[in-house]
Structure 1
Amino acid sequence: MTDLMGSAVHELLAQVLARYGSIDVFIALITAEIRDTEQRRIEAVTRARAAGASGEAIAQAANITRQSAHERWSKITR
């Protein structure tokens, strides 16, 4: 790691600690946000499929391949 990068990482960590008190609290909050965001994405995919959107269109909107979209969401949208 370069000195500049190391300095930036240390500064970011200091900001996280000042705002959240501990890295554990920060990670827990981010983890909860990721879980909630993924749930909203699943709901959006489900609504899109119910409205007739193709797997290709959903994959493009999610910026992933059609195959990845199929693997990720085919079981939840049936």
Structure 2
Amino acid sequence: MIATFTWAITIISLTGTILNVKKNSLCFWLWAVGNIAWLSYDLWLGLYSRAALDVVQLAFAIWGIIAWKQKSPSE
């Protein structure tokens, strides 16, 4: 069960990376979901330094969502 969960998060995160390469803003939403899932998992395992990284990456994903929404269609 846990292996399925972690593989699913991995696939979500990698799909976000592929979408970023293709300049699709959905990437940030996938990263946000993935980061929340990894954060939960890392806290459950007691991996607090890894959880801190997840929080920072989640903040970057939210920043990306906001920044890409503010882009004008001509950019």
Higher relative contact order (CA 8 A, sep 6+): 2
Establish whether TM, by shorter chain, passes 0.5: no
Relative to total residues, which structure has the larger helix share, 1 or 2? 2
Please give the TM-score of this superposition, normalised by the length of structure 2.
Answer: 0.36
Please give the TM-score of this superposition, normalised by the length of structure 1.
Answer: 0.34
